Amino acid sequence: MNQILRLKEYFPRARRTYVMGILNVTPDSFSGDGVMGAHDFVTDAMGQAVAFQRAGADILDVGGESTRPGAQPVDALTEINRVVPVIEAIAEKLPDAVISIDTSKAEVAAAALAAGAAMVNDVWGLQQDPEIAGVVADAGCPVVLMHNASRSDTVSADGAGGKRYGAGAYGHLLEDVVRMLGEHAAHAEAVGVAPDQIILDPGIGFGKSVTQNLALLNHLDRVKDLQYPVLVGPSRKSFIGSVLGTEVNDRLDGTMAAVAIAVVRGANIVRVHDVKSIVGVVRMCDAILSAPADGGGAPAEGAG
């Protein structure tokens, strides 16, 4: 396992948004960017990893099981056989890379951490596999806890928006999401995960309607009120397709807009496919948000 990643040390005091690049080691990614169809998937994955790092990605999120609506689940061994060779290759060839493992399985998380991953990204918030919380606590690594109200029996299609999970039953969207994320964090802390190693994710696209996804982005500050770093993953998702009438590979403009709003509302990490474009968006947003009200004093003569 890599040296333990400490979020307090990784996040500097200065306001900056971090970019997590999505590296799908799957044959059935909803965005069509999975590398498992390649003859040499490790080489293809390494190519993506190198490109992401050169483009400015701060974290590489490696996943071996698609979470797209309608995807078939895979067993732990299949997932391990997909992600571990990729993580080992990245850790060897890009030793400064911060690698995240996108999994909800304890066995996969343990194997990935041993191979060189430094954090765990669990779309079920440590709730699906009762053993994974212990793996995270024992490793002392950061963990992303996502709100997930998706159900496989509610998948539907909506024109250009594509397949999506049906909306969950909410009394009040924001209150319910914030409450559940708080419960996930409390559970993690109860089993030994350090409070300053927890990241929260409101789960854009996972059991939310188009309007609910938009509301979560617009009111992300409510999640920030829980006092944990926040990750947001709107990249190429169906709510963008529904709003703009675009297919999955034509959603960069919508993704950039969603990311910009997320940054303004306080996101610490954005999880995306199009790393180069999004790095430009977040750097520009960060520069604007950090500009002082006085404009930095009087301009130099001739400046403008």
H or E segment at 257?
helix 252-264
> Rounded to 5 degrees, what angle do the CA atoms 224, 227, 228 make?
85
For residue 287, the cross-strand partners are none
The reply to whether 237 belongs to the active site is: yes
What backbone phi and psi angles, to 5 degrees, belong to 119? -155, 165
Q: Which of 164, 237, 251, 265 is catalytic?
A: 237
Q: How many residues does the chain have?
A: 304
Question: What dihedral angle (degrees, nearest 10) is formed by the CA atoms of 120, 123, 127, 129?
Answer: -60
Strand ranges in the chain using DSSP code E only, listed in sequence order? 18-24, 59-63, 98-102, 119-122, 143-146, 156-157, 163-164, 198-201, 231-232, 269-272
- Is residue 237 within 8 A of residue 68, CB to CB? The reply is no
Whole-number CA gyration radius for the chain: 19
What is the amino acid identity at position 148? N
Distance CA 170, CA 151 (A): 14
The reply to whether 15 belongs to the active site is: no
- Is residue 254 within 8 A of residue 221, CB to CB? The reply is no
Q: Which of 105, 222, 265, 271 is catalytic?
A: 271
CA 7 → CA 118, 119, 195, 230, 268, distances in Å?
Answer: 11, 10, 10, 12, 11
Residues designated as active site: 237, 271
